[in-house]
Chains A and B, each alone.
Chain A
Amino acid sequence: MNVPSLSRPLSASQAQDFQPERLKLQVENFSLHYGREQVLQDIHLALPAKRVTAFIGPSGCGKSTLLRSFNRLNDLIEGCVCRGDIRLDQESIYAPGRDVVELRRRVGMVFQKPNPFPKSIYENVAFGLRVQGIRDRRTLDDVVEFSLRAAALWDEVKDRLHDNGFDLSGGQQQRLVIARALAVEPDVILLDEPASALDPISSLKIEELINELKHSYTIIIVTHNMHQAARVSDYTAFLHQGRIIEFGDTDSIFTNPSKRQTEDYITGRYG
């Protein structure tokens, strides 16, 4: 089994996270090209289940591309070729014949700009279930309530479930999108700059939410806001020019990184 070369020894409880049975996602020797341009090079990474891992790095370093590789969103980009493997619960997601729709159900994604559908709040959350052919009203009601509660939005919208999703504020829309992702019972949630378009208070609410959600889901977050990464994540990977420069527990990375490039980036000497 390939475990990433962590930059320093982990404590006993952290070492537990990297036991094979605790690993949710394993990236092995993964490289990715857009046409002639190589965007990711020989990535090795193991992400423990029910933990938050943050990807940080300067613009264009490949962190969003790596994130999108986890649910094969890059497949939609013309000329995108990848080598190596990514395994979800020990099973290759790039194996021939792998059901990509099923993969994307298990690995949900939330983007930088909230993108609710032009439907009611209720229908936004129920959408994934309707696609799966679920019609039973009671099941739908339960799932909508559960998901909105899990996304910390229920109390704010319970009396207006049939209003249009666009009537909500930006921060609420982002939580609605997270609720929509949760409704289909994913294992992993990918967050691509989830709070960068939000005001500071909404941003903090999303961070609070991430803290709650990590008890049930494996979360990977890409963020330009390093202090946000420091606040919400258990592990941090620093990427630069398509490579993982350093991967380790967040506390160490932000107080005493072992690589000079990491140090320069997080202290604002490069970026």
Chain B
Amino acid sequence: MFTGKEGFSRHISQQFNHELEDIRTQMLAMGGQVERQVSDALDALLNNNPDLAEESRRVDRQTNQMELDIADQCTKMIAIRQPTASDLRLIVAISRAVSDLERIGDEASRICQHAIEIAQSGPAPRGYQEVRHIGMLVSSMVRDILTAFARDDLELAYSVAKQDTNVDQEYRSAMRSLVTYMMEDPRSISSILNVIWVLRSLERIGDHARNLSEHLIYQVSGTDVRHQSLKNIKRTLKDASPDDEAEMKDQGGS
């Protein structure tokens, strides 16, 4: 039997341990910043606050820089440490995740741009109710997926992936009603188009949150679930290494 040294989970190389923890912390910090960008963008739009929108767009430049820094560290770690198994998956998942986070930041920045244009063009157009509703759904997805990353929580990751289907439905229904409205009142087209772009960005943020949940599932379970149905993802989660869990119980949950 495996006696004597089982139960450890730290690297023999403390330096590598430190690097892995550090890169994870940086990714979560970037996530926190992106989450704030999304909520600020919605706040700026719905409360007609162009100053906040400008400020949030500046933050996006930092987000871009964070992506470059983290991706660079991932590349260096792969070259120098030659990670395997869970370490390799953690680094691959993080380098994929930061690219999705950066794009969430871009979408938030786009929403800010529309918020500024709408603020300059006069009274609030129709569609704000839909923006508020979908905005809340998407914000909670981003928040939940970051919590899931912090806790390696696959159930929560799955619920985020599932939530994306709701967002897509809400988005389609909002589009239908806005298109109808534009047909009824062609003078509103230019202002409503701005709202449509905002909805589009929110829907894309939902997609990126789903991607993030797939990266986390890969990191933890080792199965790549990209481009798979929710049903398949659920099945993967059920199969995820029962062997290891049984073994950990054997070892007294060490």
Contacts and interface: CB of A to CB of B under 8 A. Distances in A.
A260 to B, nearest CB: 5
Given A226-B84, A241-B1, A270-B8, A255 B13 contact: no
Interface string B191-203: 0000000000000
Contacts of A227: 82
B85 A258 contact: no
A266 B16 CA distance: 14
| Most chain A CB inside 10 Å of its own CB: which residue of B82, B85, B247 | B85
Contact of A256 (B10, B89, B247): B89
Interface in B11-57: 11-13, 16
A249 B159 CA distance: 33
Given A255-B89, A260-B248, A266 B12 contact: no
Interface residues of B, number: 27
Given A240-B2, A256-B222, A267 B243 contact: no
A264 B11 CA distance: 9
Interface of B: 1-3, 5-6, 8-13, 16, 82-89, 222-223, 241, 243-244, 247-248
Contacts of A254: 84-85, 88
Contact of A268 (B16, B241, B244): B16
Interface of A: 226-227, 230, 240-241, 245, 254-264, 266-271
20 contacts: A240-B2, A241-B1, A241-B2, A241-B3, A254-B88, A255-B88, A255-B89, A256-B85, A258-B241, A258-B243, A259-B247, A260-B6, A260-B247, A264-B8, A267-B11, A267-B84, A267-B86, A269-B8, A269-B12, A270-B5
Given A255-B89, A263-B85, A263-B86, A269 B10 contact: yes
Given A269-B8, A269-B12, A270-B8, A259 B85 contact: no
